[in-house]
Amino acid sequence: MMNNVTSNVMNNVMNNVMNNAMNDARKDTMNRPVKEYHAPVWNEPVILEMGYPGRRGVVFAPVEEAVRHAVGAASDLVPAAVRRRNKPALPEMSEPEVLYHYLRLSQQTLGMMNISLFGTCTMKYNPQVNEALAWRPEVTHVHPLQDESTLQGALEIVHGMDLILRELSGMDQFVFQAGGGADAAYTSCAVTRSWFAARGELEQRNEIITTIQTHPSSAATAAAAGFKVVTLMIDEETGYPSLAALKAAVSHRTAALMVNNPDDMGVYNPEIREWTRIVHEAGGLCFYDHANFNGVMTRLRARELGFDACMFMLHKTFGAPKSGVGGPAVGAYGCSAELAPFMPKPLVVRDGERYRLDHDRPHSCGKIREFWGNVPVIIKAYAWARSMGAAGMAQAADISVLANNYMEKGLLAIRGVTRSHPDATSPRLEMTRYSLQQLKDDTGVDAHDVQNRMTDFGIDAMWSSHHPWLVPEPFTPEAGEMYGKEALDTWIAVLARISDEAYANPELVKTAPHNQAIHRLKGAHLDDPSKWAMTWRAYRRKSSTA
């Protein structure tokens, strides 16, 4: 399958398009003007410090006497045990004041409103029509505990997304209960645990194998599920762990292999079929983390590579907003027919022309989250997938690979920038991990300094990498399919400008940001719980203002 990726995408597309486009990459990029930028600076307090006594956003009319007589006082509807003793400390504000407050905050924010090439996460534009669909009352006014006869539309969309992901992966069943990528990885561990428990092998098979450049959630969730974790290191010559290392790790104790491919450095392991064969021969299962699916969409199917289960990020790859602070997110988990009885319940199934929730699954691993998934996110992903179609997804994958390798030519022309594993000749797909170690050695400017300075040009701070840092002073841009050449050239030009500044005046970069609403945060108290608070109430108590 990798031969199709490299020949079709890397050779045909790149040879015909990239060679001409990249001949003058350094000249075009270095001569590209960098826009002047200065963030709006508002002396904006937190909203809980705002407001005036008696001010209201909405004033409700008094309750009609007939209604009051029929239902009684509203306070009587709340059990005495859960009533507040005191009124909540909420700001008293008009609706325009609230609107202006959040508008000013949004003006001080970069993110996807500018250029954000956030690596290992496939950040992409979220179509507004999908947001409008998800906010319709047919979605927002339903409840998962309604009678199934009133949920047919929602269940049909969930089932439809299941079928789409089956086609993309070759798996036999998907469930959308998991609340994100790590949650889906944990789902796989829970299914693995139930599978071996049913076979009487769980006590023996207590190890899960992963790799150092696989998402850290694989190792973390395996440990949380009670497995021992065996981590394979990278072969410097190839950029991925060797078959010899895998063979040495596999044993009668192996429960599963958990990997992402391409990995978080953009390296695709062309020996992946042999990996799954070795694990299967030892009696283990294989799980494919598809967080980096964007560059290989429609080009490979996990089941055909020998995997028993896989996951997709609906809130990244499939055009729904990227999760933040815990949601909204959906980690779609799919598996083979053999593992399907052990999936979390309930599953959405189709009976003739009707859809229902199947709770009668005696071998299920149970629940991973409440109910049956974040339906608004599934709707957005379903709309995106249907609008793209197979041809659109294939084109998006090609553009992602093309854009990444176009950027590589420009970035490696910048002084102080090197590529991870420079001796590894394997092509990078949808992203590449770079290093600023040379820049730091020469100037003292590190990756965090460069991140801060990038925001001074109106560009979201570059993503470094997951920890542990396998590459010193890393950064990992991922263009995806949504940005045009001009935006990529601007991103490269900004980094080239910062490199020139670092060599000419390193203090300018080390003291950045200079054009942002807020200067560099002081991190001295971040590890001192007496200095920070998670709630306004705790903050007032700790600051003695209560």
Domain boundaries in the chain? 137-385
pLDDT at 110: 78
Q: Is residue 267 a contact partner of residue 425, using CB atoms and an 8 Å limit?
A: no
pLDDT at 25: 53
In one-letter notation, the amino acid at residue 75 is S
CB atoms near residue 505 (< 10 Å): 11
pLDDT at 127: 87
Distances in whole angstroms, Cα of residue 407 to Cα of each of 270, 399, 492: 23, 12, 7
Residue closest to 21 by CA, chosen among 538, 504, 407, 418? 407
Q: What would the two tokens of residue 543 be?
A: 């600051």
Distance CA 493, CA 514 (A): 18
CB atoms near residue 111 (< 10 Å): 14
pLDDT at 20: 53
pLDDT at 121: 79
Distance CA 375, CA 394 (A): 26
Would you give the DSSP letter of residue 342? G
Q: Which fold has domain 137-385?
A: Aspartate Aminotransferase; domain 2 (3.40.640)
DSSP sequence for 45-111: PPGGG---TT--S--PPPPPHHHHHHH--GGGGS-GGGS-SS--------HHHHHHHHHHHHHT--G
pLDDT at 35: 83
Q: What is the four-CA torsion angle of 101, 106, 108, 109, rounded to 10 degrees?
A: 150
Q: Is residue 333 a contact partner of residue 313, using CB atoms and an 8 Å limit?
A: no
Identify the bridge partners of residue 174 per DSSP, sorted by sequence position: 334
Q: Is residue 393 a contact partner of residue 297, using CB atoms and an 8 Å limit?
A: yes
The torsion angles phi and psi of 52, rounded to 5 degrees, stand at -140, 140
Distance CA 464, CA 436 (A): 10
Q: What would the two tokens of residue 43 be?
A: 């002396």
Buried residues in 117-155 as b, exposed as e (16+ CB within 10 A): bbbbbbbbebeeebeebbeeeeeeeeeeeeeeeebeebb
Residue 221 CB contacts under 8 Å (≥ 6 apart), including other chains: 182, 185, 186, 188, 189
Residues in the chain: 546
pLDDT under 50 in the chain at which residues? 1-15, 17, 325
In one-letter notation, the amino acid at residue 381 is A
**Helix/strand/coil for 221:** helix
Would you give the DSSP letter of residue 115? B
Quick one: 352 exposed, middle or buried, by C-beta within 10 A (0-12, 13-18, 19+)?
exposed
Identify the bridge partners of residue 229 per DSSP, sorted by sequence position: 208
pLDDT at 251: 98
Distance CA 220, CA 185 (A): 9
Q: What is the four-CA torsion angle of 317, 318, 319, 322, rounded to 10 degrees?
A: -50
Cα 55 to its chain centre, rounded Å, is: 40
Q: Is residue 272 a contact partner of residue 305, using CB atoms and an 8 Å limit?
A: yes
Q: What is the four-CA torsion angle of 493, 267, 324, 469, rounded to 10 degrees?
A: -80
pLDDT at 413: 96
Q: What would the two tokens of residue 79 be?
A: 């059990």
**Helix/strand/coil for 333:** strand
State the residue for tokens 């590894």. Answer: 424
User: Would you put residue 325 in left (φ > 0), alpha (ψ -120 to 50) or beta?
Assistant: left
Quick one: 199 exposed, middle or buried, by C-beta within 10 A (0-12, 13-18, 19+)?
exposed
pLDDT at 537: 84
Q: Is residue 296 a contact partner of residue 267, using CB atoms and an 8 Å limit?
A: no
State the residue for tokens 């203002």. Answer: 545
Buried residues in 25-62 as b, exposed as e (16+ CB within 10 A): bbebbbebeeeeeebeeeebeebeeeeeeeeeeeeeee
Distance CA 207, CA 256 (A): 7
